[in-house]
């Protein structure tokens, strides 16, 4: 396994591999790897000749009052985990490699980047799509892997790749959870013991929604009301609870196959998200 810091170097290596007809899988991350990331890496290793994991805490997707400086950074552990999973290259650029002086070009997916999480995090998805575009330009991957836990991000990137004719397949992998249902997230490390217990309300509310749908409830307003009621009973602050179409992320009135039930809540000072797809 090699650790590459220069965009020019990883680009040159990738081009040589493509000339040899080798397939490349890319797993973009911000580090602090957990079992969710490892599931993406394992799938990439299984499906490709070579795998690149990018580790880059992207400053462009953090707002001025967000947790960029304290975002968990566990580089040595991340390297060890990548090596143990058969990763071929780690791309670990510095911020000035990705955003040199006089950088002024950004990529925005209209519509999808203005709803749900975007309302609380203005500019966040512009930062995401810009850095992912740069990664795709540096690394001509055949498949890029993203987790369902960040479903809005994954849908936006999938749309971006389609709209801009990017020759990369976007694969969205299932959310990985703890045994009690909490979705794995690098930000879970911020939670104290009580907050960790309170955070279970996200999964409980999603289970409630699935149960209501299974029992025949199809009006999304009723489901959202029930979810908000169970969340309000805990020491949490609701950002949003929504049921949306999976193509355009627009709220829907009746449950349809493939729609997304998504929510974001604040547990103390930590914002957590989760979702399920209605199958």
Question: Residue 129 and residue 110: Cα distance in Å, rounded?
Answer: 11
Residue 252 tokens, joined = 């829907």
The yes-or-no answer on residue 37 being catalytic is yes
Specify the 3-state DSSP secondary structure of 193: helix
Question: Residue 116 and residue 251: Cα distance in Å, rounded?
Answer: 10
Closest C-alpha to 117, from 70, 78, 150: 150
Residues 272, 186: contact at Cβ < 8 Å?
A: no
- Catalytic residue of the set 34, 37, 97, 225: 37
Q: Order across the sheet with 50-55: list the strands.
A: 2-4, 89-91, 50-55, 24-29, 143-147, 169-173
**What angle (nearest 5°) sits at the alpha carbon of residue 249, between those of residues 248 and 254?**
105
| SS3 track for 67-135 | CCCCCCCCHHHHHHHHHHCCCCEEECCCHHHHCCCCCCCCCCCCCHHHCCHHHHCCCHHHHHHHHHHHH
Closest C-alpha to 231, from 212, 204, 194, 270: 204
Residues catalogued as catalytic: 37
């Amino acid at each position: 396994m090699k650790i590459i810091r220069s965009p020019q170097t990883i680009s040159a290596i990738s081009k040589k591999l493509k000339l040899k007809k080798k397939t490349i899988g890319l797993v973009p991350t911000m580090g602090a790897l957990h079992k969710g990331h490892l599931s993406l890496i394992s799938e990439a290793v299984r499906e490709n000749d070579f795998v690149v994991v990018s580790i880059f805490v992207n400053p462009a997707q953090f707002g001025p009052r967000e947790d960029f400086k304290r975002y968990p950074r566990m580089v040595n552990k991340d390297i060890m985990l990548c090596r143990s999973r058969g990763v071929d290259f780690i791309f670990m650029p510095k911020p000035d490699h990705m955003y040199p002086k006089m950088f002024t070009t950004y990529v925005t997916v209209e519509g999808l980047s203005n709803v749900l999480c975007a309302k609380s995090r203005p500019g966040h998805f512009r930062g995401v799509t810009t850095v992912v575009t740069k990664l795709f330009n540096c690394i001509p991957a055949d498949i890029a892997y993203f987790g369902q836990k960040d479903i809005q991000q994954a849908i936006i990137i999938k749309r971006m790749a389609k709209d801009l004719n990017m020759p990369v397949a976007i694969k969205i992998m299932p959310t990985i959870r703890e045994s009690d249902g909490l979705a794995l997230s690098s930000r879970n490390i911020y939670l104290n013991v009580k907050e960790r217990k309170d955070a279970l309300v996200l999964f409980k509310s999603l289970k409630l929604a699935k149960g209501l749908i299974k029992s025949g409830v199809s009006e999304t307003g009723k489901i959202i009301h029930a979810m908000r009621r169970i969340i309000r009973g805990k020491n949490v602050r609701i950002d949003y609870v929504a049921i949306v179409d999976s193509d355009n992320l627009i709220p829907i009135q009746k449950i349809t196959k493939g729609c997304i039930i998504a929510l974001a809540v604040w547990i103390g000072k930590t914002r957590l998200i989760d979702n399920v797809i209605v199958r």
